Amino acid sequence: MISRLISNILISCGFALAGLSASAAPGDSVVVVKGQVSDYFITVTKTRIVEGIVRDENGKPLEGATVMFFASPMHCTTDANGHYTIKGSEADRKLYVYYPGKEIANIQLELTDLNVDVTLVKEKGRKIMYRKAAQATKWYNPASYKARTYCNPMNISYNYEPFNNNVKPNGSFRSAADPMGLTYKGEYFLFSTNQGGFHYSKDLSNWDFAPASFQRHPTDDDQCAPAAFVSGDTLFYTGSTYYGLPMWYSENPKGGRFKKAIDCGVLPWWDPYLFLDDDGKLYLYYGSSNEYPMKGVQVSRDDFHPISKIHDLLMLHPKEHGWERFGMNNDDETTLDPFTEGTSMTKHNGKYYLQYGAPGTEFKVYADGVYVGDSPLGPFTYQKHNPMSYKPGGFVQGSGHGGTFCDVKGNYWHVSTCMLSLKYKFERRIGLYPTAFDADGVMYSSAAFGDYPNWNADFDIKNPADRFTGWMLLSLGKKACASSTDSIYVASNLTDESMRTFWAAESGEPGEWISIDLDGVKTIKAIQLNYYDYKTVQHNRANDVYYQYRIYASNDGKNWELVVDKSDNDRDCPHDYVELQSDLQARYLKLENVHMPSGHFCLSEFRVFGFGDCEKPAPVKGLRVDRDKNDKRNAMIRWEKSADAYGYNIYYGIAPDKMYNAITVYGNNEYDMRGLDRDTEYYITIEALNEAGVSQQAKTIRK
C-alpha cells in the first residue's frame, strides 16, 4: 500500500519513471526517483532485534566481540558485560561472532530466536596454504618437463556448461564434444563444442587455450560443433546453426581476434564440416537427425553460398548395421530411431572418406563410420570395415562425432567424443586415436589401448597399434584410502576403471588426501588424475581454474617421499597426466590436495601405469562366439577366465589381418556384442592383460 501510494503521488506530480509504470514497482517497496534516468527501490521489510551475551569457554563475558549477520552490513560490538543487540530482517538467519584468538561462531537462527547467548572456544588453528615454488624431483621437474606420451581422455581445459537448464538440476559440470582437428602453421588446433575458443599444441600432449568467443547470450552454447578450414595463412571458422551464423576468419587466430567473411550463412548447417579439396574447391557437409539424410554441397569461397546441387549423402541403416542401433549397447530399437551427425571428410590417395557419427552421444557405443567415394559429393559406398572409430569398453567409452587430421610427419589422427553422461547426457570428454589407411585403402583407428599411455606426435609411427607404449594398468581394483569421504562417494571408486563413479572428500581444503596400495612394489611410469566436479560452482570459462597437488610414494605406507610437486601449478588440468621422467619403484602412492578451483576434492579415478613383478598372462582358453541365427547383428562372446589376467581385449574385423576394432573388458568373461553388420562375416580373437603385459592372441574364430 505504501509503495502504491508514493508511486501514485509521484505520477500525479508529473515525475516520469523512465520506461516504467507505477505498477512495475515490486511489492513491499518504496520508489525513489533520482533525476530522470535511474529509479531506485527501497525495500520495506519487517525487522527484528536479536540480543544476548557472548562468553568464553570458561563463562567469562567477552567485551569487544563483533556480532554480525551473514552477508550483511549489520554489525555490533559487545559491551563490558558481553551483551550485544543487533537489528536484522526476517532474511537474516545466520549469526556470526568473532573475537581474537577464538573460533568464529556460525549459528543458524530460527525466526523465533530473539535471545541467543554465544560461547566462543579457543581457535584450533587454521589451514594455511603457504606460497612457494614447487620442488623438483628426479621423477618430475616442472622446469624441464616435456611429455613424450599422452593418455585419454585428453587433458584439456574443458569448459563448464553455461548456466542453463542442462546444468541447473545436478550442478556444474564440464563438457567438450564434437571435435575436429587441423594443422595450422606447424601446430595442431582442436575445435569443440562450447569452449569459447580452441586448444592448440605442438605435440598432441601439452595443450594451451586460445580464446575466440562468439557467444551472444550467457546461457547459450558458444560455437556448437564448430567447423574450420585453412586457406594459405587464413583460418576460417563457424559453428552449428539453423538460422544462419557468420563465417569468421583470422590470420592470427591465437590472438583471439576474428573478422567476418560473411554476416550470415544461407543454409541450415548444423554439425558443419568444411573441406577444401586439392583443386581449390570448397565443400560443406552438414546435418544432425534421426529422420533426414546428411547433406553435401559445393560452396563459393567468396560468400559461402551454395553453387552446386545439395546432395543427400547417407542415411543410417540400423536393420543392416548393428552398431548404428540406438541404446547403450545398441539394444534399444523402440525409444527412438538412431541419430546420424557429425560428418567429416578425409581425402587419401584420390579417395574421399566421408565419416559420420551414430547412434547417440550419450551411449558407450557412440562411434564413427565411413563411406568411400571417388568424388567429394559421391556417390559413396559403405566401407565393409565399420565402424571406423569404436571404443565401447574400458575407462574411456564412446568414440563418435569426430574428425581426422594429418600431423606434420604425415600420420593421421582421429579426435572424437567420449561418453561421460553422468550429470547430464551431454556431459562429455574428448579422445585422440592414431588412424591409418591400410594397403587396400581401408580406413581404421586403433583404440585397443586407447586409454593407456601412447606415444605422441613427436614420434613418426606409421602403424597405429605401435603407438601403445606397453605400460600396463597397475591401479585396477587396488585398495584406496582417503582423509575423508562425503556421503556415498567412497574411495573404492578411485580404482574401478569407471569414469562414471567418483570419490569426494568432505571439503576442498588443503591437506585432504587419497592413497592407493598397489599390492607390492611396482615399476611406475606414469600417473593420471581424473578430477571430477562435486559441489562445484562454475559456469562457462574463467581464468582462475587450476589444480594444485603433491604426489608422494612409499614402500611401507609410513615413510613418504615427494615424487611430483605441482603446488604452484596455474594450469587447468582436469585429467592431468604425468609421465615420470625416470622410473619410480613404489608400493604406495598418496595424492595430497593443495588447491581445488571450486567444490570438494574429488576424483573419478587415480590411474597408475607401469609394470608389475609377474609373468605375462597365458593365452586365453575356450574362446567361443555364438552369433544369433535370428539376428546376425548380435553375438555372445565367451571365454574362460584367466587367473593371471586383470582384463581382456576382444579384436574383430573383416579379415584375419584386418581385426582393427577392439573391445576392452574388465571383471567378466563374456561380452554381449550387438554391433555387427548383418551380412558381414567376421574374424574374432582375444588377448589377456595383466600388469606385466599382454598375452599372445587366441586362435581366430570365423563367424
Q: What is the pLDDT of residues 230-246, one digit of tens each?
A: 999 999 999 999 998 99
CB 160 within 8 A of CB 173: yes
Is it true that 152-451 and 624-702 share their CATH fold? Answer: no
Interval 588-610: pLDDT, tens: 999 999 999 999 999 999 999 99
Question: 447 — phi, psi (to 5°)?
Answer: -130, 15
Task: Show the cell assigned to 657.
Answer: 589381418
Question: 493 — phi, psi (to 5°)?
Answer: -65, -15
Q: CA 363, CA 685: separation in Å to the nearest integer?
A: 25
Closest by Cα among 387, 389, 469 to 179: 389
Closest by Cα among 654, 690, 122 to 440: 654
Closest by Cα among 108, 239, 130 to 180: 239
Interval 409-463: pLDDT, tens: 999 999 999 999 999 999 999 999 999 999 999 999 999 999 999 999 999 999 9
Side-chain-side CA neighbours of 441 within 13 Å: the count stands at 15
**Domain 152-451 = CATH 2.115.10.20:** yes
CB 299 within 8 A of CB 286: no
CATH code reported for the domain at 473-611:
2.60.120.260
DSSP 574: T
Q: Tell whether the model's pLDDT for residue 277 goes beyond 80.
A: yes
The torsion defined by the Cα of 566, 569, 572 and 575, in degrees rounded to 10, comes to -10
pLDDT of residue 33: 63
H helix count then E strand count, the chain:
1, 48
* Residue 177 banded pLDDT, cuts 50, 70, 90: very high
Q: CA 663, CA 673: separation in Å to the nearest integer?
A: 10
| C-beta pairs of 436-440 under 8 Å, 24+ apart in sequence | 436/411, 436/412, 436/462, 436/463, 436/464, 437/348, 437/349, 437/412, 438/658
For strand 180-184 and strand 187-191, is the pairing parallel, antiparallel, or unpaired?
Answer: antiparallel
CA-atom Rg of the chain in angstroms: 30
Which DSSP string do the residues of 279-345 spell out, in sequence order? TS-EEEEE-EESSS-EEEEEE-TTT--B-SPPEEEE---TTTBGGGSSSTTS--SSS-PPPEEEEEE
Quick count: other Cβ atoms within 10 Å of Cβ 391?
A: 31
Closest by Cα among 570, 572, 552, 571 to 562: 552
Q: CA 560, CA 318: separation in Å to the nearest integer?
A: 55
CB 621 within 8 A of CB 634: no
CATH code reported for the domain at 50-120:
2.60.40.1120
Paired with 89 in beta bridges are 47
pLDDT of residue 36: 59
Q: Tell whether the model's pLDDT for residue 7 goes beyond 80.
A: no
Task: Show the cell assigned to 604.
Answer: 573419478
- What is the sign, positive or negative, of the torsion defined by CA atoms of 399, 404, 406, 410? positive
Superfamily of domain 624-702: Immunoglobulins (2.60.40.10)
Q: Tell whether the model's pLDDT for residue 305 goes beyond 70.
A: yes
Interval 453-480: pLDDT, tens: 999 999 999 999 999 999 999 999 999 9
Task: Show the cell assigned to 141.
Answer: 621437474
Task: Show the cell assigned to 60.
Answer: 567469562
pLDDT of residue 32: 65
pLDDT of residue 41: 67
Q: CA 232, CA 556: separation in Å to the nearest integer?
A: 59
Q: Domain locations in the chain?
A: 2-43, 50-120, 152-451, 473-611, 624-702
Quick count: other Cβ atoms within 10 Å of Cβ 41?
A: 14
Mean pLDDT of 573-593: 98
Average pLDDT for the chain: 93
Q: CA 433, CA 467: separation in Å to the nearest integer?
A: 9
Q: CA 455, CA 205: separation in Å to the nearest integer?
A: 9
Closest by Cα among 387, 397, 432, 344 to 155: 432
* Residue 126 banded pLDDT, cuts 50, 70, 90: confident
